[in-house]
Amino acid sequence: MGFLRRQFLWPGIACLGIACAASGTRRFYLASEIPKQDGIDGLSIAPGPWPEVPAVLTRSSLVPDDLVIPTLQALLELPGAVDACDSNSGRPRPEASEYCVAIYRTPSDWRVSWPVRNTLKSSDSCMPPFGGVNDADLGRNLPVFGYAHNHPCASGLSNQDLRTWPMAKSEGAWVMVAYGTTPDGRLARDEQGQVIPAWGWLATGHRDAPRFYRWNQKGDVFRWDVDRKRWDFQARCEPSPPSMLRPEGIPPNCSAALNP
């Protein structure tokens, strides 16, 4: 069954420096531009919804692919988001950038937050909006169901990717939970009252051959099949321990090689 989409207009946004394209239209936010929960730097609050990705009108408790796939495609259209490595050295070029967005739900539809890019060292990481979303229509404290991001140099899933889940405040402390949750700790539930697992999503590969992945808290990793329009299971992965011999990091420990 298809989903209806709603395109939101974002009026009167000021354009600030490199966060805007040459045309003067904002494409993303820098982490230093957005507010923080409780004044904590790691708890950024992203504005939403992102006008480049239409909302999906459905009351389904499952994150709709009709939102996820356009989001991953839109991430790769941002400046420096793909094919941003030097062809000889393999090192990121100065413009290489990771962007993070939150996937969230309102009472009537699913939306995605504006992309957030690190102010410094943006080529190898981005800080998800762990503080939640400030929606233009409904304000804050909406449930977040996970984060999507890109890898600008076509790298695969990282250990940190497998460890990143929504944050919620519980008994005065901020904790990471692998379920859809509001920042104040209200877990999202389906029609049967069961908590709804969160997901992570990655856009990587090349402009002419992108690869989209998703994974759950169990480490089950899936890849999007463009032709069949479905997620195909690839492997079960877990983060690898750090290694002094490889300070740049080692890949996750997976039950099978992830398809290149």
pLDDT per residue, tens digit, the chain (260 aa), is 333 444 333 333 345 445 654 446 899 999 999 999 999 999 999 999 999 999 999 988 899 999 999 999 999 999 999 999 888 877 888 999 999 999 999 999 999 999 999 988 887 889 999 999 999 999 999 999 999 999 999 999 999 999 999 999 998 899 999 999 999 999 999 999 999 999 999 999 999 999 999 999 999 999 999 999 999 999 999 999 877 666 556 889 999 988 66
Q: Is 252 within 8 Å of 159 (Cβ atoms)?
A: yes
Token pair recorded at residue 20: 């805007």
Looking at residue 1, its pLDDT comes to 38
Token pair recorded at residue 250: 């080692």
What is the pTM assigned to this prediction? 0.89
Query: Among 229, 218, 220, which residue's Cα sits nearest to residue 258?
Result: 220
Q: Is 68 within 8 Å of 103 (Cβ atoms)?
A: yes
Give the 3-state secondary structure of residue 10: coil
Whole-angstrom distance between the N-terminal and C-terminal Cα of the chain?
Answer: 31
Provide the residue ranges of all domains of the chain, joining segments of one domain with +: 4-254
Give the 3-state secondary structure of residue 5: strand
Q: Is 49 within 8 Å of 55 (Cβ atoms)?
A: yes
Give the 3-state secondary structure of residue 231: strand
Query: Among 142, 115, 105, which residue's Cα sits nearest to residue 203?
Result: 115
Q: What letter represents residue 251's amino acid?
A: P
Give the 3-state secondary structure of residue 109: strand
Q: Is 111 within 8 Å of 132 (Cβ atoms)?
A: no
Strand partners, 179: 197
Q: Is 166 within 8 Å of 246 (Cβ atoms)?
A: no
Taking the C-alpha atoms of residue 126 and residue 64, their distance in angstroms, rounded to an integer, is: 24
Query: Among 229, 131, 252, 242, which residue's Cα sits nearest to residue 182?
Result: 131
Length of the chain: 260
Query: Is the dihedral angle over the CA atoms 153, 163, 167, 143 positive or is it negative?
Result: positive
Query: Among 173, 184, 174, 172, which residue's Cα sits nearest to residue 144?
Result: 184
Q: Where does 78-173 have alpha helices with state H?
A: 159-163
- Our CA angle for 173, 219, 153, nearest 5°, is 95
Token pair recorded at residue 225: 């099949």
